[in-house]
Chain A
Amino acid sequence: MGATRVRYLLLAVPLIVAVAGPLIPYELVRSASFADVGLLGTDFAGRDVWHQVLVGGRTLVLTALLATAGAYLLGTLWGLAAASAPRMLDEALMRPLDVLMAVPSLLLLLVVAALAPEGVLVWTVMLVHLPDIARLVRACALEAGSRPAVEAMRLQGEGWWRINVGFVARSMARVLATDAGSRLTGSLYLIAAASFLGVGVAPDADDWAVMVDRNRGGLFLNPWAVLAPSLMIVMLAVGLNLTVDRVLKRARHAPR
């Protein structure tokens, strides 16, 4: 099918470049800024654009994956704790998240990253996702936790970990899996936007988003220094989202 091939191609090209790019041995070209040498010319610092594209995707993809996984780990435990806690503790856990939700996500990212040292990007993206995930998990866990099976486990004297992580968390894995795909694209979006704004990354980092920002001044001189990383990010976002969308549709039609 043509559409499927396009979808996977869009996802695969940037992913392969991001993952395998740094492994490709490459003859470094150095010359003046925005010069027309090599495959795609040079960037603002006279570095080879093609080489930068090859090495610039890894941090983006890794940070997005790490932040999403971390957010799920923290959010699941948080939501489970709130769902199984007495009412007062439940409120104490969930109300602060309401405040967090009132802060626009990119603003939170900018403020935290401005105040804290480098490497904080992952934590902030986790913080952005935390309220939504914790709420979702709490709602699912409350539903699953009132099932007879949980009642029986409690009567048998099973521990908190075994009931909540062993049974309740597993029973909502499906809901979480469908949610995770769209969260991953959200993380990717946030991290790329923050890196573009120069938050939480070194100003000369090998990163597609940083490349776009730094080379903007040379848009007229060497457009490929800006276009190549932009297109990589666009392809990655489009491919990932189309794939997630496809998986979600399949999951919805699949028998339960």
Chain B
Amino acid sequence: MNLTRYAARRLAVGVLQVAGVACLVFLMVESLPGDAAVVLAGDQPDPARIAAIRAALGLDRPLAERLTTWASALARGDFGTSLVSGRPVTGIVLDALAPTAVLAGLTALILVPLSVALGVAAARREGGRFDRALTTVSAALYAVPEFALAIVLVAVFGVTLAWLPPTGLGGLSAAALVLPVSVLLVRPLCSTGRLVRSAMIDVLASPYVRHARRLGLGWFAHALPNALAPAVQHLARTVDWLLGGVIVVEAVFVIPGLGSTLADAVGHRDLPVLQGLALLFAVTTVVVNLLADVVSFRWAPRA
């Protein structure tokens, strides 16, 4: 199969996935126990307000009609308006996008070269001191929840030593970014580093690399793409963690990004915002996975 056909097939699957997620999000909101309007109206709902919310949400119309209205508005790029602030969802999301993009982008920018370097360095001498240290530390830190790690780091570097600002409240300066990005890095770095290491060990032991080394050829440039193909796939999966991590890290460091917006929307049951964000996150996940599949197919065509 050539690259274009593979990419086209993956794209079709991706579009179906996004459509599926959109329906799923809609149905999840639909399956809210009782009536969404009653929940949204607050503790002591007054009938007029419930009726108003119901009309605003279009809850008085049949399910199929609501789904098509919602989907056609989505197709026009209209995500609806927030139930809490009355602002358009698109505006809310765009405002929150910048801090999250900085956090996630910076993390990814450091993550990729660092995890490859660590993995390759460990693989060069399997079972050596550096390899053992990396394997143990990465196994240890791999499953630590971000918030617990973040709090410990804040207590040490932000409060006791007072080297770094404990929150991002004073704006995202370079110093304020150090702790959040470090916390975000830990989990993906551990897993990707380990993966690169084991893939590199396998490739280094393969006949063609050993042969190239015996001949004194530049084997490294041949070994690396083959070792990185699984790592690229895995990096795509870490986007899932990165999004999860961003939600937690933004909450800990009080950064007004997508994660905080999501947490607020969940707290206020602001359904249109929730729907918009869920869709955005799902599309991001699907697109990144798609790109990763295509890249690793390009580097090491197999299927």
From the candidates B247, B285, B286, name the one contacting A197 in the complex (CB within 8 A): B247
A115 interface contact, C-beta 8 A? yes
> Which secondary structure dominates chain B's binding surface?
helix
Q: Indicate if the CB atoms of B24 and A103 lie closer than 8 Å.
A: yes
From the candidates A102, A111, A192, A209, name the one contacting B20 in the complex (CB within 8 A): A102
Instruction: Name the residue on B nearest A213 (C-beta).
Output: B147
From the candidates A104, A113, A186, A216, name the one contacting B151 in the complex (CB within 8 A): A216
B residues 245-303 in Cβ contact with A at 8 Å: 247-248, 251-252, 262-263, 266-267, 269, 274, 277-278, 281-282, 285-286, 289
Q: Indicate if the CB atoms of A245 and B139 lie closer than 8 Å.
A: yes
Q: In the complex where A102-B17, A115-B32, A234-B149 touch, is A242 in contact with B248 (Cβ < 8 A)?
A: no
A231 interface contact, C-beta 8 A? yes
A196 interface contact, C-beta 8 A? yes
Pick from B28, B144, B277, B286 the residue with the most CB of A within 10 Å: B144
Interface size on B, residues (CB 8 A): 52
Q: Indicate if the CB atoms of A197 and B263 lie closer than 8 Å.
A: yes
Would you give the 0/1 interface string for B27-50, flagging 1 where the beta carbon is closer than 8 Å to chain A?
A: 011011100000000000000000
Q: In the complex where A103-B24, A107-B243, A111-B25 touch, is A242 in contact with B281 (Cβ < 8 A)?
A: no
Distance A212 CA – B13 CA, assembled complex (angstroms): 41
Q: Indicate if the CB atoms of A111 and B17 lie closer than 8 Å.
A: no
Q: Indicate if the CB atoms of A219 and B20 lie closer than 8 Å.
A: no
Q: Indicate if the CB atoms of A231 and B152 lie closer than 8 Å.
A: yes
Q: Indicate if the CB atoms of A99 and B136 lie closer than 8 Å.
A: no
B244 interface contact, C-beta 8 A? yes
From the candidates A102, A114, A197, name the one contacting B282 in the complex (CB within 8 A): A102
Q: In the complex where A99-B20, A103-B24, A110-B247 touch, is A219 in contact with B285 (Cβ < 8 A)?
A: no
Q: Indicate if the CB atoms of B145 and A104 lie closer than 8 Å.
A: no
From the candidates A99, A107, A112, A188, name the one contacting B281 in the complex (CB within 8 A): A107
Q: In the complex where A230-B152, A241-B143 touch, is A107 in contact with B166 (Cβ < 8 A)?
A: no
Distance A113 CA – B21 CA, assembled complex (angstroms): 17
A105 nearest CB across to chain B (Å): 6
Would you give the 0/1 interface string for B8-27, flagging 1 where the beta carbon is closer than 8 Å to chain A?
A: 00000100011011001100
Distance A197 CA – B251 CA, assembled complex (angstroms): 8
Q: Indicate if the CB atoms of A106 and B243 lie closer than 8 Å.
A: yes
Q: In the complex where A107-B278, A115-B32, A219-B155 touch, is A237 in contact with B247 (Cβ < 8 A)?
A: no
From the candidates B149, B240, B248, B266, name the one contacting A114 in the complex (CB within 8 A): B266
A74 interface contact, C-beta 8 A? no
Distance A230 CA – B155 CA, assembled complex (angstroms): 11
Q: Indicate if the CB atoms of A111 and B28 lie closer than 8 Å.
A: yes
A55 interface contact, C-beta 8 A? no
Q: In the complex where A99-B20, A220-B159, A227-B152 touch, is A104 in contact with B243 (Cβ < 8 A)?
A: yes
Q: Indicate if the CB atoms of B285 and A103 lie closer than 8 Å.
A: yes
Would you give the 0/1 interface string for A225-236, flagging 1 where the beta carbon is closer than 8 Å to chain B?
A: 011001101100
Q: Which 6 A-B pairs have the closest CB atoms?
A: A106-B244, A99-B20, A185-B143, A245-B139, A114-B266, A233-B148
* B interface residue numbers (CB < 8 A to A): 13, 17-18, 20-21, 24-25, 28-29, 31-33, 136, 139-149, 151-152, 154-155, 159-160, 166, 239-240, 243-244, 247-248, 251-252, 262-263, 266-267, 269, 274, 277-278, 281-282, 285-286, 289
Sample 15 A-B pairs with CB under 8 A, ordered by A number.
Answer: A102-B286, A105-B240, A111-B274, A113-B266, A117-B33, A185-B142, A188-B145, A189-B143, A197-B247, A199-B266, A226-B155, A230-B147, A233-B148, A240-B143, A241-B140
* A interface residue numbers (CB < 8 A to B): 3, 96, 98-100, 102-107, 110-117, 185-186, 188-189, 192-193, 196-199, 209, 212-213, 216, 219-220, 223, 226-227, 230-231, 233-234, 237-238, 240-242, 245
